[in-house]
Amino acid sequence: MSKAVVSFKIDSRIKEILQKLAEEDTRTLSNYLVTIIQDHLKAKGILWGAEEQHEENEKEESAIRFSGKNITPPPTDDH
């Protein structure tokens, strides 16, 4: 997965609060912010990266299950 650098200005008080929260989670500020952003994307139903691939794999497996290729015919009552 490629990574990009993002720089932005934020109120110093907010940065201090976020830094303390990150330390409580034993994370760097950068990692803490990435986690918050990832959680926000997930809450919005936006899939990306590994989650997107997992969702795509589930769709493919579901399509195979319901395509008739893996369906066993029901038993018959031929006694």
Residues 6+ apart with CB under 8 A from 57: none
- Give residues with Cβ within 8 angstroms of 21, minimum separation 6: 32
pLDDT for 12-59, tens place per residue? Answer: 999 999 999 999 999 999 999 999 999 999 999 998 776 666 666 666
Beta carbons of 50 and 42 less than 8 angstroms apart = no
Quote the pLDDT of residue 5.
Answer: 94
Query: How confident is the model over 55-70, as pLDDT tens digits?
Result: 666 666 666 665 555 5
